Amino acid sequence: MFSLEKISIGVQTALNNSLPAFWALMAQFAIVGVLVISLFAVLGLVLVFMERKVSAYMQIRLGPNRVGYKGTAQTLADTLKLLVKEGLIPDGADKFLFRLAPYVVMISAMLLMAPIPFSRNFQIWDINIGVLYISAISSMAVIGILMAGWSSNNKYSLLGAMRSGAQIVSYELSAGLSVLSIVILSGSLQLSEIIQSQENGWWLFKGHIPAVIAFVIFIIAVTAETNRAPFDLAEAESELTAGFHTEYSGMRFALFFLAEYANIFIVCAIGATLFLGGWMPFHVGSWSAFNQIMDYIPGSIWFFGKTFLLIFVIMWFRWTFPRLRIDQLLNLEWKYLLPIGLINLLLITVMAILGWHF
Amino acid sequence: MGFLKNYIKTVYEAVSSLLKGMKRTGYYFTHHKEIITQSYPDNKDTMILPERFRGEVVMPHTDSNEHRCTGCTACELACPNGTIKIITKFEMTPEGKKKKALDTFVYHLELCTMCNLCIEACPTNAIKMAQNFEHSVYDRSQLTKTLNKEGSKLMEGVE
């Protein structure tokens, strides 16, 4: 059976046999770096195409359908255009910060890739505080966004960046609380252990209604954190032209664009890992025959299937709901999501202590 | 307690209305037959335009080269941007009377906004909107058209 675990172990032993220990480690670093960068590039191409097709079908349109087979090469052509485009820097801009900002956003997205388990024992870095690491690093992207908005020397950019800051700071709380409820249920911060705890069923089903509420709050909060519609105040086209990346063009703009889609993938992967069992196949308690049939589908396919399902849901939100006003946005967080999340966390704690979950 | 009841009601209403919207977009996403986009140059032969689509003003002629235009210039007066210019002449009726008739119906397609006011103003239904929309030409002068055909005359009985 196809398994990413075997491939990684095979590569590791081959490197250890042929190279001294230090250079084998270096070669592994290089391989991981290349894999992460190429995954990002592929994700950018696939997700942009997916978004355009999904939005088209939801708006009763056809979407890209000319370049390549049924338009599949459209994003490739767009990338080529962005690559050859001139990267303009405005006269009044803070040139150093202006150049640095896209990389900060991109690197914070790349760092988040480290603890995500793609398959059984196929993980870059299985740290025992994986969930904490994710919630810490995911708030770093806002620094890059603020940097971009400030250095552009443009009122729209600055407004967009400030809005983005307010938004991420407030929605981080709800996302954290709903992540915490799963930490309480599984009793671990390590992502591989959280997945292992879902061997007899995913937390979404095992945790009764409180887990479902936590899941819904998580999805809403991460939609806001990734600055996507209906929470795209940071780049509200009709009010702020393009928000914090108004002045960016060419490859620097492409980096922001890519980071947005990489962030969507990452938050959906985390959601799939915490609530839907990550690479763990669909298992039902004690039905061992059913569980064995499910095990024939490789874990990586389960992982990517669940992640793309969540990505689709987030795209569905974007192409259905209108944008919120800034006061509505903060109302939603502070008056609804946060109190409900806190009470929900209490319920889950009681449930976990009394052992009411499956 | 009233506050709590209101609060729960707000949340319930918000969630149900959001789900209603998602149901609609989900329906469109799964039902591709609803797509209204036409892949234009490919389906040139089978393309179906809406009945009321306005492409350009034309003057229908019968087989015996007769039109319904009396040359009353109602359309010229109705036109908001001088698209239509009507040149009239005087014809002798069999009774020996002088009568105003249409000589040339000049139509500047390049000025036309397809507002349909001339068609509404016409008392004899002499002109109508055609569905042809492929108007691009290399020379601007080709867009100035004469709508009545060579040697055509007024249909019998149209006043």
Q: What is the pLDDT of residue A94?
A: 82
Q: What residue of B is the nearest CA neighbor of A60?
A: B35
pLDDT digits (tens, 9 = 90+) for A312-352: 998 898 888 888 888 888 888 888 888 888 998 898 888 88
Q: What is the pLDDT of residue A228?
A: 81
**Contact yes or no for B34 and A60 at CB 8 A:** yes
List of E strands, chain B: 56-58, 66-67, 84-92, 98-108, 128-130, 144-146, 153-154
Query: What percentage of residues in chain B have a pLDDT greater than 70?
Result: 99
* A contacts of B40 (beta carbons < 8 Å): none
**Contact yes or no for A316 and B35 at CB 8 A:** no
The answer to whether residue B157 scores a pLDDT higher than 80 is: no
What is the arithmetic mean of pLDDT over A166-189? 86
What is the arithmetic mean of pLDDT over A267-282? 84
DSSP state of A129: T
* A contacts of B29 (beta carbons < 8 Å): 54, 57-58, 316
**Contact yes or no for A60 and B37 at CB 8 A:** yes
A–B: how many Cβ contacts below 8 A? Answer: 36
Instruction: Determine the Cα–Cα distance for residues A5 and B86; give it in Å rounded to an integer.
Output: 83
Structure-block tokens of residue A285: 């308690």
Structure-block tokens of residue A261: 């889609």
Of B11, B25, B39, which has the smallest distance from its Cβ to A58's Cβ? Answer: B25
Nearest by Cα to A224 from A150, A138, A154: A138
DSSP state of B64: T
Do the domain assignments include residue A36?
Answer: no
Of A54, A65, A340, which has the smallest distance from its Cβ to B29's Cβ? Answer: A54
What is the arithmetic mean of pLDDT over A206-234? 83
Helices in chain A by DSSP H: which ranges?
4-18, 21-58, 74-84, 95-111, 130-138, 141-151, 155-186, 191-196, 203-206, 208-225, 237-240, 250-275, 288-295, 299-318, 326-331, 338-354
pTM score, whole prediction: 0.81
Q: Which of B15-24, B92-101, B127-136 has the lowest mean pLDDT?
A: B92-101
Do the domain assignments include residue A158?
Answer: yes
ipTM of the complex: 0.74
Evaluate whether A266 touches A116 at the Cβ level (below 8 Å).
Answer: yes
What total of structural domains would you count in chain A? Answer: 1
Query: Choosing among A51, A58, A315, A317, which should be mutated to test the B contact, i.e. which has the most B CBs within 10 A?
Result: A58
Task: Work out the mean pLDDT of chain B and round it to a whole number.
Answer: 85
Q: B8 and chain A: CB distance < 8 Å anywhere? A: no
Phi-psi region at A71: left, alpha or beta (left = phi > 0; alpha = psi -120 to 50): left
Query: What percentage of residues in chain A have a pLDDT greater than 70?
Result: 98
Q: What is the pLDDT of residue A117?
A: 85
* B contacts of A62 (beta carbons < 8 Å): 35, 37, 39
Q: B16 and chain A: CB distance < 8 Å anywhere? A: no
Residue B7 vs residue A239, higher pLDDT = B7
Q: What residue of A is the nearest CA neighbor of B17?
A: A321
Residue A312 vs residue A231, higher pLDDT = A312
Q: B12 and chain A: CB distance < 8 Å anywhere? A: no
- The Cα of B49 is separated from the nearest Cα of chain A by a number of Å equal to 17
Q: What residue of B is the nearest CA neighbor of A216?
A: B15
pLDDT band at A154 (very low <50, low <70, confident <90, very high): confident
Q: Which of A37-46, A97-106, A301-310, B29-38 has the lowest mean pLDDT?
A: B29-38
Q: What residue of B is the nearest CA neighbor of A54?
A: B29
* Fold (topology level) of B56-154: Alpha-Beta Plaits (3.30.70)
Instruction: Determine the Cα–Cα distance for residues A183 and A175; give it in Å rounded to an integer.
Output: 12
- The Cα of A328 is separated from the nearest Cα of chain B by a number of Å equal to 13
What is the arithmetic mean of pLDDT over B62-89? 87
Q: Which residue has the tokens 């990389």?
A: A103
What is the arithmetic mean of pLDDT over A199-218? 82
pLDDT band at A123 (very low <50, low <70, confident <90, very high): confident
Of B18, B24, B37, which has the smallest distance from its Cβ to A61's Cβ? Answer: B37
pLDDT digits (tens, 9 = 90+) for B96-121: 778 888 888 899 988 889 888 988 98
Please count the other Cβ atoms lying within 10 Å of the Cβ belonging to residue A91.
6
Of B11, B22, B29, which has the smallest distance from its Cβ to A57's Cβ? Answer: B29
What is the arithmetic mean of pLDDT over A102-126? 84
Structure-block tokens of residue A228: 């996507």
Q: B18 and chain A: CB distance < 8 Å anywhere? A: yes
Residue A223 vs residue A299, higher pLDDT = A223
The answer to whether residue A1 scores a pLDDT higher than 80 is: no
pLDDT band at A358 (very low <50, low <70, confident <90, very high): low
Angle between helix A155-186 and helix A250-275 axes, rounded to 10 deg:
20
Query: Choosing among B4, B8, B29, which should be mutated to test the A contact, i.e. which has the most A CBs within 10 A?
Result: B29
pLDDT band at A2 (very low <50, low <70, confident <90, very high): low
pLDDT band at B138 (very low <50, low <70, confident <90, very high): very high
The answer to whether residue B19 scores a pLDDT higher than 80 is: yes
- The Cα of A184 is separated from the nearest Cα of chain B by a number of Å equal to 26
Q: Which domain holds residue A338?
A: 87-354
Task: Work out the mean pLDDT of chain A and round it to a whole number.
Answer: 84
Do the domain assignments include residue A39?
Answer: no
| Burial bucket for residue A77 (CB in 10 Å: 0-12, 13-18, 19+) | middle
The answer to whether residue B92 scores a pLDDT higher than 80 is: no
The answer to whether residue A287 scores a pLDDT higher than 70 is: yes
Q: What is the pLDDT of residue A297?
A: 77
Of B11, B21, B37, which has the smallest distance from its Cβ to A320's Cβ? Answer: B21
Residues of A with CB under 8 A from a CB of B: 54, 57-62, 65, 316-317, 319-321, 336, 340
* B contacts of A60 (beta carbons < 8 Å): 28, 34-37
The answer to whether residue B56 scores a pLDDT higher than 70 is: yes
The answer to whether residue B148 scores a pLDDT higher than 70 is: yes
Structure-block tokens of residue B98: 């002088």
**Contact yes or no for B35 and A62 at CB 8 A:** yes
Instruction: Determine the Cα–Cα distance for residues A165 and A64; give it in Å rounded to an integer.
Output: 34
Q: B42 and chain A: CB distance < 8 Å anywhere? A: no
